Amino acid sequence: MKKIVLIFVVILSGLCAKAQGNLQFNQVLIIDVSVAGNAVTVPAGKVWKLENVAMASNGAYVQLQYSGTNYFLSNSSANYNHFPFWLPSGNAVVITGSAAGKLSVIEFNVIP
């Protein structure tokens, strides 16, 4: 009997739990990466998942300045963070590269 009550309580508490929101696919974005830098802002109500980068030269990387911290992203070197990298809504970031390239981003809608 105690097992049945325990199972019922666990299931009921799971049904009552609230998440922060669900993600719904919106679009794929291609962002230019340049040595000069590119300032972008994640739109309100959206979340970005940085997926990959295609750089014009081997061993190149992307520097992402987010909340005052620089992150170095690469898909080829063990010295850098690897993809994916998530960015929450409403945040401004500066994307700079050691060479020209393209950054692949998946944008999601946050559904409450």
Q: Residue 61 has what pLDDT?
A: 79
Q: Residue 77 has what pLDDT?
A: 57
Q: Residue 15 has what pLDDT?
A: 59
Which one, of 66, 63, 49, 50, lies nearest residue 109 by Cα?
A: 49
Condensed to tens digits (0 to 9), the pLDDT of residues 9-39 reads 667 665 555 556 799 999 999 999 888 888 8
Please state, in angstroms and rounded to a whole number, the distance separating the CA atoms of residues 63 and 87. 14
Q: Residue 67 has what pLDDT?
A: 84
Q: Residue 41 has what pLDDT?
A: 92
Q: Residue 20 has what pLDDT?
A: 65
Domain count, the chain: 1
HSE-up of residue 9 (Cα within 13 Å, Cβ side): 6
Residue 47 located in a structural domain: yes
Q: What is the CATH number of the domain that holds 40?
A: 2.60.120.10
Residue 85 located in a structural domain: yes
Report residues of the chain scoring pLDDT below 50. Answer: none
Whole domain around residue 66: which residue ranges? 20-111
